[in-house]
Structure 1
């Protein structure tokens, strides 16, 4: 893949460079990682919105509970407590 350049102001460049340096990455690799993370966030946002629409449908949660036995008891979700 060919490289290209993007015009940004000096302050933004310096901020990105500092972030890349603190991650031990080149700016090119850091920006590629940020782009991949943002794409992932967008996919998660889309999936979350679809899930919320789905569980808003009447009867969906009751059907899920009937098919899969509902949620485990609350005690199964609590972390151990110190004595």
Structure 2
């Protein structure tokens, strides 16, 4: 069995999360795990976007990108 912990939430927030989980056919723990994974993915994509935006400022980068991926 996986380690577990208790999280204290306002009853309203708990009820809202439970309803959202149920609408997806998930338990609340499974739904929260999906939310955590989605946020981790979003953060990773944001880091990648920032890195790309920084990279395109380097001389010759745009031309090389266009050459290799156009």
TM-score (norm 1): 0.75
Taking the TM superposition and a 5 Å limit, the aligned residue runs for 1:67-78 are: 68=68, 71=70
Output the CA distance in 1 between the equivalents of 2:40 and 2:20: 19
- State yes or no: 1:65 paired with 2:66: yes
Question: What residue ranges of structure 1 are gaps of 5+ in the alignment?
Answer: 72-83
Output the CA distance in 1 between the equivalents of 2:6 and 2:54: 41
Q: CA deviation at 1:65?
A: 3.0
Question: What residue ranges of structure 2 are gaps of 5+ in the alignment?
Answer: none
Q: Which has the higher helix share?
A: 2
- State yes or no: 1:28 paired with 2:59: no
Structure index of larger Rg:
1
In the TM superposition, structure 1's runs of 4+ consecutive aligned residues that sit over 2 Å from their partners are: 63-66
Q: How many residue pairs are counted as aligned between the two chains?
A: 69
Q: CA deviation at 1:33?
A: 0.8
Secondary structure in structure 2 of the residue aligned to 1:4: coil
Taking the TM superposition and a 5 Å limit, the aligned residue runs for 1:27-66 are: 27-66=28-67
Q: CA deviation at 1:55?
A: 1.0
